[in-house]
Amino acid sequence: MGEIKIPIPTQPDNIWILRHLVDIDSTNSYVSELAKKGLPEGQVILADHQSAGRGRLDRDWVDSPGSSVLMSILLRPNFPPQFFYLITSALSLAASQILESKFSIPCKLKWPNDVMVADKKIGGILAEAAYTGVENSWVVAGIGLNCLQSGDELAVISQGATSILAESGIRLDEQERIDLATQIVARFATFYVSLGDPDERTGLADLYRSACDTIGKLVRVEMPGETLTGIASGISEEGNLLIETDTGMRAVPAGDIIHLRKSF
């Protein structure tokens, strides 16, 4: 198991540890176990393959070995739980910025958790929280990023999927995949630390809003027991999607969202 120390750019004394595994059921499940054992914030697990990878809304997240960044981060937030959704925003923002700067892949974010290139998904976030009071709460923030999938494989995953290879022609080797993961963690950590400060948190929410192309679209949000349709008019300070419906403005914490039309 390789181990990489990642100093946080804005807090050089705060060092996170990335461990690289070949095979695991799910990095999110593994890191949740570390959380239950009381390990500190900043444990990062990166895997070459997951045998039981999980997506949002109980979906599977399937990969072929070595083809993706599959990674989860243990966090013990020092800010109130109503802002935990911003962790998903921060991780998707970090991944999109690194993809743009490293590979010139122009990304947009689809609320709440997708990293998109045009209308295709290149990555997704699954953040899972346990809250039992400020002292005991933890969040596992997981990301899956398509790297080496070719056109044929992408067609099997979904018509709406893409990869670094498909977008840029760049074929990452193992070390380059680890470097990419490390850079995403460092950028995310800077954003995450800023969530602890109310002013900086507002700045991060603004950054997310400007990268999110859900705003202005006609959307349908499917939530347990309810489906909402309306114009996505903004994102609240807590990271909730604001939707103008026929019956008034609704703030939606997280749901499965479908963009119904390009924009208004």
- Near ligand BTN by CB under 6 A, which window of 122-130, 169-177, 181-189, 215-223? 122-130
| Among 208, 193, 176, CA closest to 97 | 208
List of E strands, 76-206: 108-110, 114-117, 120-130, 138-146
State which residue, 142 or 255, has the beta carbon closest to ligand BTN.
142
Q: Among residues 142, 230, 239, 255, which is the contact residue for ligand BTN, using CB under 6 A?
A: 142
Residue with structure tokens 């750019």? 9
**Minimum CB distance to ligand BTN smaller for 59 or for 261:** 59
Among 16, 32, 61, 91, binds ligand BTN (CB under 6 A): 61
Size of site (CB under 6 A) for ligand BTN = 20
Compute and round to an integer the Cα radius of gyration of the chain. Answer: 18
Distances in whole angstroms, Cα of residue 147 to Cα of each of 51, 52, 103, 164: 18, 19, 11, 5
Please report how close the Cβ of residue 68 comes to ligand BTN at its closest, in angstroms. Answer: 7
Burial zone of 17 (CB within 10 Å; 0-12 exposed, 13-18 middle, 19+ buried)? middle
Nearer to ligand BTN (CB atom), residue 167 or residue 201: 167
Q: Which stretch binds ligand BTN (CB under 6 A): 79-87, 138-146, 173-181, 219-227?
A: 138-146
Contact with ligand BTN (CB under 6 A): which of 8, 26, 43, 217? 26
Q: Is 55 in the site for ligand BTN (CB under 6 A)?
A: yes
Q: How far, in Å, CA of 5 to CA of 149, rounded?
A: 28
Q: Does 89 bind ligand BTN (CB under 6 A)?
A: no
Q: Which is nearer to ligand BTN, 163 or 194 (CB)?
A: 163
Q: Are 255 and 221 in contact (CB under 8 A)?
A: yes
Scanning 52-60, 95-103, 176-184, 196-204 for contacts with ligand BTN by CB under 6 A, the matching segment is 52-60
| 56 near ligand BTN (CB under 6 A) | yes
Cα 246 to its chain centre, rounded Å, is: 31
Q: Are 90 and 195 in contact (CB under 8 A)?
A: yes
The residues binding ligand BTN (CB under 6 A) are: 26-28, 50, 53-56, 59, 61, 70-72, 113, 124-126, 142-144
